Amino acid sequence: MFYSIVHSICHLGWTFRIFSSGSIDLDEINKSANNFPFDHIPTYSELLFQTLVGLTGIMLLLIIVIMWLTSFEFIRKKYFQVFAYTHMILFPFFFFGMIAHGGNRLFNFGFPTGILILPIPLCIYFYMIFKRMYKM
């Protein structure tokens, strides 16, 4: 949760502000932040609400906040199903959101950056699902 908030603050405080100031070339902005190219220097709100990176960033932050809130000990102990179902339902959205969020920035290997980050939580997710199915 902490690193997600730091990541978001850095983008909102620096990256989006620099892109919307016009100090970076429009071609670089379109390559970095948008699947649908702008024909003008975008405003801060256009970068946030009209780009795949901005929209998936908002979605991912909301998912992380919801998962974090439902993972407090009080919720887990008293309402375990809320914790479990929230995580099981939201994790696939988080997974595909991460791929879409990092999809514009391709490493030299030719695949989205989100794929590099996700194998560990994905393995944990499937382990928990299979463990639950085995116990049933």
pLDDT per residue of the chain (136 residues) written in tens, 0 to 9: 888 899 899 888 888 888 888 788 787 777 776 667 788 888 888 888 888 888 999 999 999 999 999 999 999 999 999 999 998 899 889 888 887 887 666 555 556 666 777 787 778 888 988 998 899 8
Distances (CA, A) of 115 to 73, 79, 97, 130: 30, 32, 11, 22
Ranges of each domain in the chain? 2-135
Write down the pTM of the prediction.
0.76
HEC per residue, 56-102: HHHHHHHHHHHHHHCCCHHHHHHCHHHHHHHHHHHHHHHHHHHHHHC
